[in-house]
Every structure is written in C-alpha cells, then in structure tokens.
Amino acid sequence: MRHPLLSGALALFVLVGAVVAAGAFSVPATALNVDGTSISQATVNQDLATIQSNAAFSCYLDASIQVRSSGQASLPALGGQASSGSYSTAFVDFWLSEVVNNLLIERLASQQHLTLDATALAAGRADLNGSISATLSAAAAGSGQSAVCAASGQAIVSTLPPSLASELVRAQAAGDVVLARASGYGLGRGELLRYFEGHRQSFRTICLSAIQVASSATAATVRQAIVAGEPFAAAAKANSTDPASAANGGALGCYSANEGAYQTVAADTKGLVVGEISQPVADNGSYLLLQVTSYQPAVFNAVETAVRQAILGAGATKASKELALLTKHADVSIDPRYGRWSGASGIGIQAPRTPPAADLLNPAR
C-alpha cells in the first residue's frame, strides 16, 4: 500500500501464467530483504491469505490501483491456476512491491533521523484511515455508487490482523514525517498554525451556486444570458438539470477546507471574485456554470486537519525524489521464485518467465 502522497508510477505488473504455492516444498524462509531488513515467507503467506479472505481489504487495494491509474489498471487476479493455496505471480509481485515500498519509506525516515514515536504512530493511524476513506470516496464517485468496499477506512483497518495493521500504520507514519520534513514544516500544532497563518486564503470557506446543463453549447448560451442581465437564480430554475439545486436558484451551499470536495471546488472557482460567473466546467458528462456567492475566512481550529494535509502535500515532490533516489540504490533481494527486483525506475518486481516446476502445487497440470 503506497503512502498516498509518495505514490508515483504503479508497481510493475508482469502478468504471466505462473502460480506460487504458499506451502511448497523447500521454500526459502526469507521472502525478501531490504537493506538488511528481512520479511519472512511466513509473514508474506499470512498477508496473502488475509487479502484473499478479506473482501473489503482486497476491494480497497483494487480501488486504490484504479484511482491512481485513472481506471487503467486493477488488482491482479489473486488465485493461481494450480489448486487451493496458490496465488498468481502477478498478485504476489504486486504485494511484495508494496511491502518493499513501505520498508523503503521507513528507511528514508530513519536516514533523516525522524522518530516514529507514539504521537507519530497515532497520527499515522488516523491518516491511514483517512487515506483509505478518501480512496473509497473517489472510487465511489468514479463509479457512480454511493459507497464501495466498506463504510470507511477505519472499518477496513479494524478487520486486519494486528501485525499487518501495525506495518501499514508505521509506513504511513514514516511517510508523514518524511513529507513534513520535505515541506519545511513540522506536524506539531505550532507548526500547523504557522503554515495556516501564511496560507489563510487556501483554507477559506467557499459558498457557491451552480447551473448544470447537458452540453458546453447550452452552458455558453446560459452564461451569455446571465452576463446580459438575467439573474443567476432565475437562469438556474429555468435551465439547470439538477432538480435539488435548481429549486434553490442554483444554491449549493458552502464548502469548508476539511470537506472531500473542497479541492475540486477550489480549483473550479480559482480566480473568481464574488458574483462572477465561471466559464463552462466539464463535470462527468455535464457542464457547470459556477458563481461564488461568498468567501468566509477560516478559523484555524476548524480546519486543522486540512492544514496538516496541506503540509504533507507541500512536501510531496521533494520527498518523492528522495524516495526514488533511495529506491535506485537500495539493496533488495527477492526470493527468485517471485522474479527479479527492478528498482532503477521505481518500485517493481519483474516476474520470472517460467517458474521452477518444484514451486507448482501440481507440476503436471
């Protein structure tokens, strides 16, 4: 599972017809080693079994890949083609790539002398839950559903074995402190307040109205009428295809910086002064005309969570470069049954062309 702000290219998936047996004869005790930190085969087997049996978590992993790839990739098939207890090489390589990535993030934090104390771990757990929830929301919005996989990130994390949940929390916490360092700010309350004071406009509440229509041409015609003098509310009632907002003259309400839709709203209204009408904005097959009705100054206590996320985001570019450099020079060894480590251009494992017959549950098939 990639830290949401350190994710770059997706793990390298090499889809082959191989299968890896979870309990094959003469299996090495160590599945992988990253700069001296070893992960046992037993731990990997437990992780794989958890993902295979935990529908909500595997659904989240698939949703995460689809969101990060804009729908161009999905979770490799879990099961192998041999018999019960086997996993596809593509799936195992995906998971091992995620494990390597998390270990390297922790390694980077250690190199930068960043401490994962109880406070950092508690915040990391909250951020992990929030990150998963954000992914689920994005996946739901992209599919037109009200929800996918589970009600929240916390609901998913609570179903994981404590050891796996702890590993994911540590990786999240390590990513958080690395990102904060890269941004030039800390994550203590005083540092959050310092960032807020320097970026107040980025957290102000945005109140707006909207008119939704079916085509850009219609949007342009309606906009021209409003510019010529027609009241926005009247144009919304007459033309908007969204019944709820149309009945209110287009009023959508106000969006605070803590809300999931805030970044989209802020981007769509960037540069608009109060009362100004936006150009047509494409929105899932429809087009919107937006009007900011007011900007309300933010109070730090009300947007503290958003400020924390903004600091993490501010360090993303620098931290990603630091992680890429570490990855390129990392000493990583992988059980050859799974393939060959390839870190020159990012996290990834190149699957073997043909697995040894001894690693198949039924070599004759």
Task: Kindly list the domain boundaries of the chain, sorted by start residue.
Answer: 19-184+315-359, 205-296
The pLDDT assigned to 226 comes to 97
Quote the CA–CA distance of 62 and 247 in Å, as a whole number: 38
The pLDDT assigned to 141 comes to 82
The pLDDT assigned to 5 comes to 38
The pLDDT assigned to 23 comes to 41
Quote the CA–CA distance of 245 and 308 in Å, as a whole number: 32
Question: For residue 13, is pLDDT > 80?
Answer: no
3-state helix, strand, coil in the chain (%, to 5): 50, 15, 35
Residue 25's pLDDT band (cuts 50, 70, 90): very low
Question: For residue 149, is pLDDT > 90?
Answer: yes
Q: What is the pTM of this model?
A: 0.81
Question: For residue 9, is pLDDT > 80?
Answer: no
Q: Long-range contacts of range 51-57, CB-CB < 8 Å, 24 or more positions apart?
A: 51/78, 51/95, 52/78, 52/79, 52/87, 54/159, 54/160, 56/149, 56/150, 56/155, 56/156, 56/159, 57/156, 57/159, 57/160
Higher pLDDT, 7 or 107: 107
Q: Mean pLDDT over residues 228-253, rounded?
A: 96
Give the Cβ contact number of residue 298 at 10 Å.
Answer: 21
Tokens 């007459």, residue located: 238
Q: Mean pLDDT over residues 91-118, rounded?
A: 94
Q: Return the minimum-mean-pLDDT range out of 83-92, 97-106, 265-274, 352-361.
A: 352-361
Q: E strands within the chain?
A: 19-21, 30-34, 37-40, 86-88, 205-213, 251-255, 281-283, 286-296, 332-334, 340-341, 349-350
Tokens 């689920």, residue located: 136
Q: Mean pLDDT over residues 284-297, rounded?
A: 95
Architecture of domain 205-296: Roll (3.10)
Q: Mean pLDDT over residues 331-345, rounded?
A: 85
